[in-house]
């Protein structure tokens, strides 16, 4: 395990010292049979059966049975303490990995990142399960080893050399093999993740793979990745012989040495028959099972724990990548600017030196490495205080555009900036104060209406809340629920009412940029017009992904996205010059008596 993985686990374990200490105390009780078995066997033979006192021998054996019962009770008490250690660690790791994942741009509406999913669903569970197993195995072996050596010394000190030296040799050899085993286990995990990632990318772009006749190549790549995974597993399994050799040298060899040396030990060192049997009892009853479990556990779950902890440590504390974001002042795209608006507003908070609320330069984005880009070389500039409507058929990239502007996705090429600053360079805790995104799926959480509305602006006063609810048409809901402090249940609200709550929450946000991604799709036209008018009068910039073409009539400018390109202009300009826009509006013929109209700028094409 590398340093970061050790540091991660050590920090988590140290935070739970109390249950660890309780588990250690119960471990002493649990290993009581291992500590007493050899001594009681020796006494039962020497003072009991061999001395002609069978009742004494039976009593000593009964004492060993009682110690076993006490040990079983101690073992039972270990598990609740173990749960108090590993379950909170699992919860803590999930929180830390999720927080790290959310701090980086996530591609919403994309297939989940398979590596992140593996970390959450597999590696965190691997750490939990393997850490529990290692705590059980290691603490039992350590206590068993100490008690076995103390017990052997109590029988006869000469037994320490016969037991300790082979055991030390076996443990040193096994420790030296652990790095090789860990490398093999890392290779297995890497091969599994590469195969999963390749399969996800291939199946996600299957249409394009078939269309370009690359099914044979794609199948060959999958076969090669699967073969690499099988090879890694076979190489990891090949070290199983080392585990058996460790047990043979550490536990079986001392037993053989004691048996071979027993006659000489009895003559020269006064060793009794009971002491020989007791020493063998320590080896076969106590040490051999503990050593076998330790070797099997460390070479299996221990290695998985080490590798998974390393991966999670990398996910929780990722190394900062240098120059990870394109420079916003440099545009390598050959496309021309979409448009520049002169609309301004003094009610905006804009980074000094930037005259635009939103700026996209040569932005390209695709959902899969092999798929056609959804946006390709798109240039767009939205001025401060401007109201922009984005229209187009389903699947042309409208929601993708909002994700890029909101910082929920990073472009494959080009740059995005909010008031001159890339969203990916804005701290996640600061993003909500710069932009607010209202998706089509409205979220209402359990709590009062006041708590829902104040989520993005906790200091909003009652008067402001009441003004906004009236402004957005929530008065009827406010009355029906019983006021701002009434408890809300999302299931009791209609889809339109949930959208109104989400809109009011966003309206109260201090963010100067509001993005409505079909956020009024469940409202009737009158309610939609009321909501959009309220947001248009709200200080700041407004971007609306239009659910109805009527939204374009209320906007300063309209961005049309379709499969042939992107056009930006006013409603009248697009109506005059774009057949695609006329189809959306419902005009299937060229307008009579209209001229060519003002020129409409055309950015780089996109899919």
| E strand intervals along 314-467 | 356-365, 375-383, 387-391, 413-418, 435-438, 447-448
* CATH code, domain carrying 362: 3.40.50.300
Q: What is the mean pLDDT of the chain?
A: 81
Scored b (16 or more CB within 10 A) or e, 521-544 reads: bbbeeebbbbbbebbeebebbbbb
> What pLDDT score does 604 carry?
37
Q: Check pLDDT > 60 for residue 601.
A: no
Looking at the domain assignment, is residue 592 inside a domain? no
pLDDT one-digit tens code per residue, 157-200: 999 999 999 999 999 988 888 888 878 877 887 888 788 888 88
Q: What is the C-alpha to C-alpha distance for residues 48 and 357, in angstroms, rounded to an integer?
A: 94
> pLDDT over 70 for what percent of the chain?
85
Does the residue 302 lie in any domain? Answer: yes
DSSP letter for each residue of 6-57? HHHHHHHHHTTHHHHHHHHHHHHHHTHHHHHHHHHHHHIIIIIITTT-HHHH
With a CB cutoff of 8 Å and minimum separation 6, the contacts of 9 are 1, 127, 131, 305, 309
Do 292 and 376 have their domain in common?
no
Of the candidates 294, 359, 297, 351, the residue with the CA atom closest to the CA atom of residue 326 = 359
Taking 80 as the threshold, does the pLDDT of residue 318 lie above it? no
Q: Based on DSSP, count helices (H) and strands (E) in the chain, helices before strands.
A: 23, 11
Q: Are 66 and 194 in a shared domain?
A: yes
Specify whether 279 is located in the same domain as 423: no
| 104, two tokens | 């980086």
Angstrom distance (rounded) from CA 481 to CA 477: 6
Task: Identify the CA nearest to 603 among candidates 342, 375, 443, 434.
Answer: 375
Q: Is residue 24 part of a domain?
A: yes
- Write down the pLDDT at residue 603: 41
Q: Cα 36 vs. chain centroid, distance in angstroms?
A: 47
What's the pLDDT score for residue 117? 53
| Structural tokens at position 136 | 């059980």
In a domain, 345, yes or no: no
Which ranges of 156-214 would DSSP assign to H, the alpha helix?
158-204, 206-211
Let me know whether 107 and 225 are in one domain.
yes
- 282 pLDDT above the threshold of 80: yes
d(CA 303, CA 322): 32
**391 beta partners:** 560
In a domain, 350, yes or no: no
Given this model, what pLDDT does residue 598 score? Answer: 36
21: domain CATH number is: 1.20.1560.10
CA distances from 383 to 107, 336, 341, 360, 556 (A): 26, 17, 6, 12, 11
517: phi then psi, degrees, rounded to nearest 5 = -95, 85
Q: Is the pLDDT of residue 589 over 70?
A: no
Res. 328 pLDDT band, cuts 50 70 90 = very low
Given a cut of 70, whether residue 422 has pLDDT beyond it is yes
% helix, strand, coil for the chain, step of 5 = 60, 10, 30
Task: Assign 94 to helix, strand or coil.
Answer: helix
Residue 505 pLDDT level (bands cut at 50, 70, 90)? very high
- Alpha-carbon dihedral sign for residues 149, 155, 161, 167: negative
C-beta separation of 484 from 477 below 8 A: no
Q: Assess whether 54 and 195 both reside in one domain.
A: yes
338-385 pLDDT, tens digit each: 333 323 233 334 444 457 889 999 898 887 777 788 888 889 999 999
Predicted confidence at residue 388, as pLDDT, reads 93
Is residue 404 assigned to a domain?
A: yes
Q: Is residue 230 in some structural domain?
A: yes
Question: What are the pLDDT digits (tens) for 86-141?
Answer: 999 988 888 887 777 665 544 443 444 545 555 566 778 888 889 999 999 999 99
In angstroms, rounded to a whole number, what is the distance separating the alpha carbons of residues 27 and 24? 5
Are β-strands 387-391 and 513-517 bridged in parallel, bridged antiparallel, or unpaired?
A: unpaired
Instruction: State mean pLDDT over 267-286.
Output: 91
For the beta carbon of residue 63, count every other beta carbon within 10 angstroms: 14
**Contacts of 142-149 spanning 24+ positions with Cβ under 8 A:** 143/27, 143/28, 143/30, 143/31, 143/34, 144/31, 144/34, 144/286, 144/287, 144/290, 145/287, 145/290, 147/31, 147/34, 147/35, 147/286, 148/34, 148/35, 148/38, 148/282, 148/283, 148/286, 148/287
Q: Kindly state the DSSP code that residue 343 receives in the 8-state scheme.
A: -
Name the nearest CA neighbour of 338 among 560, 496, 552, 555. Answer: 560
Q: Does 390 lie in the same domain as 280?
A: no
290 and 369 share a domain?
Answer: no
Instruction: Tell how far CA 287 is from the center of its chain.
Output: 40
Do 417 and 305 sit in the same domain of this protein? no
Which structural domain range is residue 288 located in?
Answer: 3-316
Which among 69, 68, 44 has a CA at the least distance from the CA of 58?
44
Residue 286 pLDDT greater than 80, yes or no: yes
pLDDT class of 148 with cuts at 50, 70, 90: very high
Are 273 and 360 found together in one domain?
no
Q: Which token pair is 408?
A: 């929920």
Predicted TM-score of the model (pTM): 0.52
| Averaged pLDDT, 517-524 | 86
Q: Which residues contact 379 (CB under 8 A, 6 or more apart)?
A: 333, 335, 336, 337, 338, 360, 361, 362, 363, 603, 604
pLDDT, tens digit, 9 for 90 and up, residues 35-93: 999 999 999 999 999 999 999 999 999 999 999 999 999 999 999 999 999 999 988 88
Parallel, antiparallel or unpaired: strands 513-517 and 487-488: unpaired
Number of domains in the chain: 2
291 and 360 part of one domain: no
Q: b vs e for 478-497, b when ≥16 Cβ sit within 10 Å of the residue's Cβ?
A: beebeebeeebeeeebeebb
Are 137 and 259 part of one and the same domain? yes
pLDDT-based confidence at residue 320 (cuts at 50, 70, 90): very low
Choose the weakest-confidence range: 123-127, 276-280, 483-487.
Answer: 123-127
Domain membership flag for residue 67 = yes
**Residue 366 and residue 287 share a domain:** no
Q: What is the pLDDT of residues 214-260, one digit of tens each?
A: 788 888 889 998 999 899 888 877 777 777 888 999 999 999 999 99
Burial per residue of 135-154, b for 16 or more beta-carbon CB atoms within 10 angstroms, e otherwise: bbbebbbebbbebbbebbee
Length of the chain: 607
State residue 521's pLDDT score.
85
Structure tokens at 124: 């965190």
The predicted pLDDT at position 519 comes to: 86
Task: Please choose, from the candidates 445, 555, 438, the residue with its C-alpha nearest in 3D space to the C-alpha of residue 499.
Answer: 438
């Amino acid at each position: 395990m590398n340093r970061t993985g050790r540091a991660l686990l050590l920090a988590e374990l140290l935070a739970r010292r109390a249950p660890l200490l309780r588990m250690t105390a119960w471990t002493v009780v649990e290993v009581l049979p291992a500590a007493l078995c050899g001594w009681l066997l020796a006494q039962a033979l020497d003072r009991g059966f061999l001395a002609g006192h069978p009742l004494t021998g039976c009593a000593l054996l009964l004492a060993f049975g009682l110690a076993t019962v006490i040990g079983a009770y101690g073992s039972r008490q270990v598990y609740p303490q173990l749960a108090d250690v590993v379950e909170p660690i699992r919860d803590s790791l999930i929180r830390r990995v999720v927080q790290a994942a959310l701090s980086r741009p996530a591609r919403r509406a994309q297939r989940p990142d398979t590596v992140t999913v593996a970390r959450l669903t597999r590696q965190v569970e691997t750490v939990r399960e393997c850490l529990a197993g290692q705590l059980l195995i290691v603490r039992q072996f350590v206590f068993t080893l100490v008690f076995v050596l103390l017990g052997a010394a109590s029988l006869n000190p000469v037994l320490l050399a016969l037991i300790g030296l082979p055991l030390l040799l076996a443990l040193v050899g096994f420790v030296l093999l652990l790095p090789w085993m860990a490398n093999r286990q890392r290779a297995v995990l890497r091969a599994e993740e590469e195969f999963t990632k390749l399969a996800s990318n291939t199946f996600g772009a299957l249409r394009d793979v078939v269309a370009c006749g690359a099914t044979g190549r794609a199948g060959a790549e999958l076969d090669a990745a699967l073969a690499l995974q099988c090879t890694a597993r076979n190489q990891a399994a090949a070290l199983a012989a080392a585990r058996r050799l460790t047990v043979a040298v550490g536990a079986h060899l001392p037993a053989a040495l004691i048996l071979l040396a027993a006659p000489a030990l009895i003559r020269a060192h006064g060793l009794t028959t009971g002491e020989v049997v007791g020493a063998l009892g320590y080896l076969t009853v106590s040490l051999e099972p503990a050593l076998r479990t330790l070797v099997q556990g460390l070479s299996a779950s221990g290695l998985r724990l080490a590798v998974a902890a390393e991966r999670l440590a990398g996910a929780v504390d990722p190394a900062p990548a240098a120059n990870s974001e394109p420079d916003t002042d440099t545009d390598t795209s050959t496309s021309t600017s979409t448009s520049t608006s002169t609309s301004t507003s003094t009610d905006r908070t804009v980074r000094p030196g930037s005259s635009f609320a939103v700026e996209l330069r040569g932005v390209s984005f695709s959902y899969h490495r092999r798929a056609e880009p959804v946006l390709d070389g798109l240039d767009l500039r939205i001025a401060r205080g401007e109201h922009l409507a984005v229209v187009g058929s389903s699947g042309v990239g409208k929601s993708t555009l909002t994700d890029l502007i909101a910082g929920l996705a990073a472009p494959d090429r080009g740059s995005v900036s909010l008031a001159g600053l890339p969203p990916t360079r804005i701290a996640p805790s600061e993003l909500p104060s710069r932009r607010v995104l209202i998706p089509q799926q409205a979220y209402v959480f359990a709590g009062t209406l006041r708590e829902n509305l104040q989520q993005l602006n906790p200091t909003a006063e009652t008067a402001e809340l009441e003004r906004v609810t009236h402004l957005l048409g929530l008065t009827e809901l406010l009355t029906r629920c019983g006021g701002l402090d009434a408890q809300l249940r999302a299931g009791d609200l209609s889809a339109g009412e949930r959208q109104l709550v989400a809109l009011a929450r966003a309206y109260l946000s201090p963010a100067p940029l509001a993005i409505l991604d079909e956020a009024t799709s469940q409202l009737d036209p009158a309610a939609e017009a009321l909501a959009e008018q309220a947001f248009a009068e709200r200080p700041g910039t407004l971007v609306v992904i239009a659910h109805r073409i009527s939204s374009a009539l209320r906007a300063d400018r309209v961005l049309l996205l379709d499969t042939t390109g992107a056009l930006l202009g006013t409603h009248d300009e697009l109506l005059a010059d774009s057949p695609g826009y006329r189809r959306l509006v419902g005009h299937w013929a060229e307008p009579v008596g209209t001229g060519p109209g003002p020129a409409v700028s055309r950015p780089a094409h996109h899919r």
